[in-house]
Chains A and B, each alone.
Chain A
Amino acid sequence: MNSAMKLIVPVLVTCVVAATGLSLTYSLTAPKIAEQDRLAEERSLKAVLPEADAFGCIEDTAVIEQAQAVADPVQIIDMFQATEGGKPIGWAVKVSSRGYGGPMIVVVGLDTSGSTTGVSILSMNETPGLGTKVQTEPWFLEQFIGLPGGYTDGDVRALDAISGSTRSSNGIRNAVAAAGRVYAEILFEMEGVSE
């Protein structure tokens, strides 16, 4: 039996040392990573609703389920109510939508009347130089701003995509259309709740 132990002990020692090392590094970097994520989210929310100074996350799961039912094929991650000096001025809908290289996290900003105030991309892994044009070409995201309240999927599809990266453009368009549907379905009635 001891010959087997001679084999097992070194592996065990390496594992223990590796585990301690890694857990130490993790506990060192974890807060930094969390902070990075929070900063990134903060930036993307500010990008779509610049005037808002606070974003209240809607925890009510019933509302989120209702929104998710309407938002298919896009997945709702969070919904925020934007307030300025305590007064609600709009909504920010954070969704995950399928692009060419995989899921893209997109934030769509709506004002109280449901018209789009801005669209920003939190993360994506599209082909650099091709799919990433949805972010680098300024006109593409700006074209979504100013859609009238209660806009339908048709209005969104009417807007043009980037040649050569249709699948990435569709990812963004699906996200904006989903936000429109969620507003029409749920956020519209929730208007009075926050007063």
Chain B
Amino acid sequence: MDLMLIAKAIGALAVIGLGTSAVLATAAKRFHVEVDPRIEAVAAALPGSNCGACGNASCFAAAEGIAAGEKPVNACVAGGQKVADAIALILGAEACATAAVISARHCGGGIAAVRSYTYSGVTSCAAASRLAGGPLACSAGCLGFGDCARACPFGAISMDERGLPVIDPVKCTGCGICVRECPRGHITLLEMVPEAAPVVVRCSAHDKVKGRKANCSMCCIACKKCEKECPSDAIHVIDMLAVVDYDKCTGCGTCVAVCPQKCIDLYGRVEGVDAVVADGAGPESQAAPLQVGA
């Protein structure tokens, strides 16, 4: 046992160990960065899915903004009321109501929509829409390749057998990523509607009605029946398309029953209505004529 070797080995490793840990210890003191504990608390309250709906790259960045007061307490769109209350509690600021919104699909076509050519490229709406505006004859309809479903960080969107994204209003946090992701989102194919939106029009086409019917059997034909029948004057045909005024709509469901094209569905976080089942099921799905506060 060569004692000299052992002594030298201990010396060498001790020197390195001492050197490195001394450097770390002093660095820990000198470079100590005071991180505002409130930021960490707020960051913990945020959902942490880094969805970017509040405009920040990550939840931590959003937490910094909220704690510094640059951003309102309810900045986190995805978190909704629950998160806003928690943050308000942490920061002691008064809690204000969040304008909760959810996403809604304005298209009932899917496989029923006429195709102008058969597309067999990369399965993504973004790619398909670059090829002559997409395979659909209707210029505003949903292409059905599931970009929104893939992009949704909360798994609220799933593609059904008709090739249409079914949005579950309970899971949807209104972060708006699907609207950004959908190449036709700006033609309000996917629109942010109030959380308790009782009905939604399953069409967003503005072209002439005669041509529209040839493109898709499920389209709104601007017959204005819904406008005449609606008891609370909450639905009007503007620019050849039925549009719902959610401030006035009481959710009586008359328009759903009276529409000849059956392209208005029950929707929104409303008791007694399972929006996912109601999607495209037409009037039969109406559980009961429901009264909802304005």
Contact = CB atoms under 8 A, between A and B. Distances in A.
Contact present between A and B (CB < 8 A):
yes
B33 to A, nearest CB: 17
Interface string B20-56: 1110111011000000000000000000000000000
A9 B29 CA distance: 17
Contact of A7 (B5, B6, B25): B25
Given A12-B14, A15-B14, A15-B17, A7 B24 contact: yes
Interface stretch (A23-31, A103-111, A141-149, A179-187): A23-31
Query: Which of B6, B24, B28 has the most C-beta atoms of chain A within 10 angstroms of its own C-beta?
Result: B6
Contacts of A14: 17
B16 A15 contact: yes
B25 A4 contact: yes
Contacts of B271: none
Given A4-B25, A4-B29, A8-B25, A23 B17 contact: no
A40 interface: no
Contacts of B17: 11-12, 14-16
Contacts, number: 55
Contact of B6 (A8, A12, A23): A23
Bin the interface of chain A by size: 10 to 19
A58 interface: no
Given A7-B25, A8-B25, A23 B10 contact: yes
Contacts of A4: 22, 25-26, 29
Contacts of A7: 21, 24-25, 28
A20 interface: yes
A27 B2 contact: yes
B243 to A, nearest CB: 66
Query: Which of A11, A23, A26 has the most C-beta atoms of chain B within 10 angstroms of its own C-beta?
Result: A23
A20 to B, nearest CB: 6
Contacts of A22: 9
A69 interface: no
Contacts of A16: 10, 13-14, 17
B90 interface: no
Interface residues of B, number: 21
B18 interface: yes
Interface in B114-153: none
Contacts of A12: 14, 17-18, 21
B34 to A, nearest CB: 17
A12 B29 CA distance: 19
B21 A27 contact: no
A24 B25 contact: no
Given A4-B26, A24-B1, A11 B9 contact: no
A19 interface: yes
Contacts of B21: 7-8, 11-12
A18 interface: yes
Contacts of B5: 23, 26-27
Interface in A1-59: 4, 7-8, 11-12, 14-16, 18-20, 22-24, 26-27
Given A4-B26, A23-B5, A26-B9, 20 more contacts: A4-B22, A7-B24, A7-B25, A8-B21, A11-B17, A12-B17, A12-B21, A15-B10, A19-B6, A19-B9, A20-B6, A20-B9, A22-B9, A23-B6, A23-B9, A24-B1, A24-B6, A26-B5, A27-B2, A27-B5
11 contacts: A7-B25, A8-B21, A12-B21, A14-B17, A20-B9, A23-B9, A24-B1, A26-B5, A26-B9, A27-B5, A27-B6
